[in-house]
Amino acid sequence: MKENNKRKIRFLNVFVIILTAFLCFVIWQIRQNRQLNVQQIPEKQANINFSSDINVVATMQDAISVDTVWCGTFQLIWNDLIKELVKQEIHFEEPFDIVEHLNKQEFDENSISDEYYYKKWGKKTLDLKKEIETGIEQKFHEKSDVLENIDWSEEALDRETLERYLFYVMLKRSFSYEKEFSELDNGKFGNQYENIKYFGIDNSTKEDVRKQVEVLYYDSQKTCAVQLNTQEGDVIILGKGIEGTTFQEIFDNMQKKSEIYSGEKEFLKADYLRIPEISFQVKKEYQELQNKGFYTYDNQELIIDKAIQTIQLKLDKTGGSIKSEAVMEIECLSAMMEEETKPRYFNFDEEYVIFLIEKEKDKPYFAMKIKDITKFQ
């Protein structure tokens, strides 16, 4: 039992005012012209080539397809929205699975250390924007890729007759291996994609590199999982051949298989490891959440004007880095009432998943499922 608990620890180690008749009329006009106004606001954006064909989900409980990623940043600002403003679960007139999943708050501040993220919320003012920009510069030496997607004109700021709020978070983490992995020859990914860049372990790789890898389980080349340990304490988990329609199901199934696996957990001299290099940037605007009314605990009507998340990940033979931002703009509308050792091949050269988790935390802070590797290189 003690050993199982140790394994589990290691494995599991990444959100009032009654308005006057005049204000109600203003709100009605806003709703009538919202789409037109959005089109008239030019979006300023950093010079980043965001991918348009990678799917993003808001929670580990959302149904996933191929080529999908998740990061916990959007959940963090949703949690703040409930805690600081709504003070109850959020419900739209039309139910959405994504909202129900976000309301469960399965990922929260206890799932990740403070050093990984910066977050701030408040009245939507230029002072708040400056405070956020100063905060992320001081903590991460970074600039925001999403704040300029928000309308900061005087008419769009918080004012006495129309309250507006902004919720923001940035997650930034870099990690490295104590020893570099080998750069492998380019090769195929699945049966479709060629000339893909790989790193990993082959028969020329030094022994001390192998010590950075732990086997979680191995049934065959088609069903296997390993974890890569980094100097900073982050754990990179890679798995193939696991059933599940959500990242949570896949992660739980991998955990169960690892706990009952009785084979060799050490990465042996005869074993091989092949991992694609990863470099991608994706931006998601949660249009399904925007411009729909919901109510606070005291019947104040709110809407989400903007809900945006970005995710950037790099992974190579030296380590990797992840940066993710999420921003949500809220508007208050109205108040209403010993045999020969055979080699094992941990070749992640076809559809597979990746999770990033802080050591000794029980929830990942990033997940990805890849089928078309060309979208990620």
Q: What is the DSSP string of 10-27?
A: HHH-----PPPHHHHHHH
Mean pLDDT within 359-374: 92
H helices of the chain, in order, are 2-12, 21-40, 73-81, 97-103, 126-140, 207-210, 247-260
Tallying the residues shown for the chain, one arrives at: 377
Q: What is the number of alpha carbons within 13 Å of residue 347 lying toward its C-beta?
A: 19
Identity of residue 276: P
Q: How crowded is residue 265: how many other Cβ atoms within 10 Å of its Cβ?
A: 14
Average pLDDT, the chain: 88
Which pLDDT does position 237 carry in this prediction?
98
Distances (CA, A) of 259 to 8, 215, 236, 362: 7, 11, 17, 15
Grouping H, G, I as helix, E, B as strand and the rest as coil, residue 180 is coil
Beta bridge partners of 304: 330
Which pLDDT does position 12 carry in this prediction?
42
CA 146 to chain centre: 15
- Range with the poorest average pLDDT among 17-21, 126-130, 191-195, 281-285: 17-21
Which pLDDT does position 41 carry in this prediction?
40
Which pLDDT does position 36 carry in this prediction?
39
- Contact present, 164 and 124 (Cβ < 8 Å): yes
CATH number of 176-278+339-376: 2.30.39.10
How far apart (Å, rounded) are the C-alpha atoms in residues 113 and 76? 13
How far apart (Å, rounded) are the C-alpha atoms in residues 318 and 182? 9
Q: 83-103: per-residue pLDDT in tens?
A: 999 999 999 999 999 999 999
Hey, CA dihedral for 347, 226, 316, 62, is it positive or negative? positive
Which pLDDT does position 161 carry in this prediction?
84
How far apart (Å, rounded) are the C-alpha atoms in residues 273 and 225? 11
Q: 129-188: per-residue pLDDT in tens?
A: 999 999 999 999 999 999 999 999 999 999 988 999 999 999 999 999 999 999 999 999
Local confidence band at 47 (pLDDT 50, 70, 90 cut-offs): low
pTM (2 d.p.): 0.81
Secondary-structure percent of the chain, ordered helix, strand, coil, rounded to 5: 30, 35, 35
CATH 2.30.39.10 intervals, the chain: 176-278+339-376
